[in-house]
Structures are given as structure tokens and as C-alpha cells.
Amino acid sequence: MKKKTAALALVLSCLVSSAFAADYSHLVIMHTNDTHGYDQRADGVNGMATVAALRKDFEAQGKQVLLLDAGDAIQDNNLVNLSKGKTAIDFMNAAGYDAMALGNHEFDYGADVTQQRIKQAHFPVMSANIIVDATGKPFTPKTHAILKKGNLNIGVFGLTTPSTVTTSNPKSTRGLTFLAKDNMYTAAQKEVNALKDADCDLVIAIGHLGSAPDAAGDRSDDVLNHVQGIDIFIDGHDHVIKDRTVNDTLLAETGAHLANIGVIQQVDGKWKEDLYPYGRYNKEDPKVKAIVDKAQARITKKLASVVGTTAMTLDGTRAPGVRTEETNLGDFLADAFLWQVRQATVLQHVRVDGAIMNGGSIRASINKGKITENDLLLVMPYHNYLQYVTMKGSTLLEILEAATCTTPKAIGAFPQVAGIEYTVDTRVPYAKGDVYPHSTYYSPAKPGSRVTITKVGGKSFNPDATYCIVVPDYLTSGGDTYSALTDPAKVTVGDVDYLDVDAARNYIKEALGGNVGDTYAKPQGRITII
């Protein structure tokens, strides 16, 4: 009798559990990441009006749509740059986003502007691992949110890459701590537990973390290997397409620049990604399109003036490209910086030997033909000022060794150069020293083990000689791997009143006579990768 009673209780328990199990059949999770202001529909770009139209079409089918973004929405394309990201949030408000995680480039205009964009958004903008040092409290008003879709309570929380302290201008994140590794896992687990305790049916992490090898310990994969209870992880930052399972959790990412729209639904009890690449779905929401088009028309008119011409495409692609090897655009920009600073009155009696431009700050190519103001600002959207740094050759060797630590794998620090010739031997492992202060990167334990500098300023390299090198101020602030440039015992930094984009424009007009010619038909052999 006891056995029958127990069996009956088990059956009743299963029936009750089944009756109250969450029904996901009507839920559609749409997601984007790293849109970077590519919000107007164009060749290869879906655009924000298409995101809005697709959401409405799903809703017309009776679906409950959750629309999420994994960060880096407000910077890069001139469509959003000139408003410091305000237009990007306007577009996302119009499209009906439900939540967003902060990306590293949300800090490019300074933390105060980041807070303005958070307040402007009609949806929660979150990060659970950014702490204000002065108060010990989270930087964002919300670290998580519970979103109601039909009968479902869906918990979402945000995470931001700890590398923000170097991949955005370090000046923008002073006074903030980005919890990393174990501390980030603890913060994420706290968010999951809070959402579970609130009886959420589904827990989604929106993380701007990526999976790049140089961020080991701080990647989305690492979080999923240390945190329990995340059902779906929507990622960003590394601009790749992801659709894989890590410890039974779907890890999804769309690439970048709205080339794809992510759509996640449950199929046969499992969460499945279904990307919508450009061309698969071609509708645009007319109201959102009108808002985007109006903003673009203003920008186009403002930036249409022609600076010069180029006889060839200047290559600013990411990888392979400016983050992995010498390119003709890298040569051109470094030459422009070197030429411009040599014109500075304060340096008339100083020998300026070379220039460095980190590949990660080169954001676009320049196509053959006319070069407009718009083109230059697409390539260099950060408005960095040029500076000159006086240092020993040994320090120059250190920064080149650190800046190529992952080569041949892509790294934003990769040095495009002028007046400098160097070789990277990728067969030699990068020997890590101590972690640089206020950085996620390791100093080189053995500078010169992978990198050999052959010439600086047209002369044979001497580690004991003193060199004057032009760099963007992003690097002297410790951006990317360039923490050595913040050490006053190693370097002396001087200012000149030139913006990077002004230097490029002046170089074209004054030094090149308005035409980028055959000198830049191909890379000039300044960098050798073995």
C-alpha cells in the first residue's frame, strides 16, 4: 500500500510540475551586439529599422519578443559619434529594446557621458562588475532586471569586459574598478542567485566579454565555466559569430555592425540560435527609418567636403589587417602623424624619429577615389591628440614587445609605424612578466625575445639611445598594452596641438598635394612577421 501511495504521489508530482512548467513556445529572443552606430540599412548592414520591423513581424505572429543588446552601440560610425552616442540611443528607444549591457566603447566619451546615455535609454543599461571606487556601489543604476513577457518572468543581467580600462581611453574609467576573473564570477553568481530567488523562469546574461585568447579568465566561456544557473549567454566585444553550448548554456553572438540579427527560440526543449544575415529579411519599420535617415542626412551634409583622393583602397580591415600586420593605411597614418608633429614650432630643434599608431584605433578602410571628411572620421573616430614621447631604445623595445604579445593573433595594440622597422618572431612564445598597473596586460619578461628593432629614424637601433616618437594620447594614457608610456621614470611626454584626423587631412593636402599616390600602393616593408 505504501509503495502504491508513493508511486501515486510521484505521478501527481510530475503532472503538477508539467502543468506549471514554463511555456517558451511563444518567446522570441532577438539580440544584437557591437552595432557601433551602423544603424542605417546599407549593403551588408541590416540597420535599426530592420531590427524594429523584424520585432514587429514576430509580434504580429503572436510571439512575445525580448530585444537585447550586448554593448558597443554608441561609438564608431559618424552617424552616432557626432552626438556622443545620443542618436544611437534614440534609435534603440524607437526600435523597442528591452535591455542592454555596457560595452567598453560606451566609455569613449567619458564616464559622465556614459551616465547620460544610461539615463536617456528607455530600457535598463546594466553591468554587474563595474564598481565606483569612492562609494563601493555599482556604476549602473541596475545590475539586473526582471522583464515580463506574457506569463514569463525573464531575468537579465549585464557584464562588461575588464579590459575596458585599456580598450577605452584610461582617462574615462579612472575611479572605477572592473571586477575580473574570480571577482567577476562571484558578482555574476550573485546576480543569478538573486534572479532565481525572484522566481525568474529564465536567466540570461548579456555580456560584453568576448572569447579572445588575450582575455583568458575574463571571457564569456570562463564565466560559463565558473557560474551556475545561466540559461543563455548573449556575448559581444570580439566581433565574431558564436552559436555553441558551454556547460549546457547557449553562447550566442552575431558578429558586428548589424551584419546579422540574432534570433533565439526554444526547439525540442533546447535553445537554438537562428541568425538573420543581411538580405534574409528586408523590411524596414518606416518610423524608425525616418528617424535614422534624418540623422544621417544631417551628418552627410556636414561631412561631405572632399579632402583629397586616393589611387587605391587604403586597408583598415581588422584581421587579417591593422591588428595583425602592416597595411598601407597603417603606413599612411603613421607617416601623417610623423610629418605633422615635425611641423610643430615647439619641436623645431628636436629630432622626431618615428611614430606609432595602434591598429585598434583604425576603424575603417578608405576606398579608392575621393576622400571626404566623413571617411577620415570613420577611420579615426576617437579624436585623439598627438603627443611626442622621449624614451630610451630599451623602452621602445618593451612597448613593441608588449604590443605584439599575441601576434599573429589579432590585438588592438598592434603597432603600425613610421620611421621604425621591426620584426616579430611568432615562433618564440611571449614571456609574461608582471601585470601592468591598472591594466589586464602583462609586461614582457624578456623584451627583445620576440621583437627585433632594426632601424629608428633611419639609423641602426640602439637600446641605449634616446628616441622621440609620436603617438596618440590614448597610448600615453596606458591604452591597450602601452602602460610603459605612463611611467615617468621611463618616458617624458610632450604635447602638440594636433588631432589625429587633422594630421591626416593636413598630410593629404599639404605634403601629398591632395592625392594619396603609388607610394601607398602596398605596405612598405616596415614590419616583418615570422
Please report, for the chain, the start and end positions of each structural domain, with discontinuous segments joined by +.
24-296, 306-529
Does 24-296 carry CATH code 3.60.21.10? yes
Q: What are phi and psi of 238, to 5 degrees?
A: -95, 0
Question: CB of 74 within 8 A of CB of 37?
Answer: yes
- Residue 359, classified by CB atoms within 10 Å of its CB into exposed (0-12), middle (13-18) or buried (19+), is buried
pTM for the predicted model, two decimal places: 0.82
- Residue 33, classified by CB atoms within 10 Å of its CB into exposed (0-12), middle (13-18) or buried (19+), is buried
**DSSP letter at 222?**
H
- Domain pair 24-296 / 306-529, same fold: no
Q: At what angle do helices 286-302 and 48-60 cross, to 10 degrees?
A: 180
Instruction: State the pLDDT at residue 339.
Output: 97
**Grid coordinates belonging to 442:** 602583462
Amino acid in the structure at residue 9: A
Taking the C-alpha atoms of residue 510 and residue 505, their distance in angstroms, rounded to an integer, is 9
Instruction: State the pLDDT at residue 344.
Output: 84
CB atoms near residue 522 (< 10 Å): 13
Query: Rounded mean pLDDT of the chain?
Result: 94
Question: CB of 363 within 8 A of CB of 378?
Answer: yes
**Grid coordinates belonging to 60:** 504580429
Instruction: State the pLDDT at residue 18.
Output: 40
Instruction: State the pLDDT at residue 345.
Output: 65
Taking the C-alpha atoms of residue 291 and residue 283, their distance in angstroms, rounded to an integer, is 16
Instruction: State the pLDDT at residue 10.
Output: 43
Q: Is 417 helix (H, G, I), strand (E, B) or coil?
A: strand
pLDDT along the chain (530 residues), means of 10: 48 42 95 98 98 98 98 95 96 98 96 96 98 97 97 98 92 94 98 98 98 93 98 97 97 98 97 98 98 96 95 97 98 98 80 97 97 96 94 98 97 98 98 94 96 98 98 96 96 92 97 97 97
CA distances from 131 to 138, 158, 168, 179, 206 (A): 4, 13, 16, 7, 18
Amino acid in the structure at residue 270: K
Residue with cell 602596398: 522
Taking the C-alpha atoms of residue 210 and residue 345, their distance in angstroms, rounded to an integer, is 44
Question: CB of 417 within 8 A of CB of 354?
Answer: yes
Instruction: State the pLDDT at residue 496.
Output: 87
CATH code linked to domain 306-529: 3.90.780.10
Q: Give bridge partners of residue 172 from the DSSP assignment.
A: none
Instruction: State the pLDDT at residue 497.
Output: 79
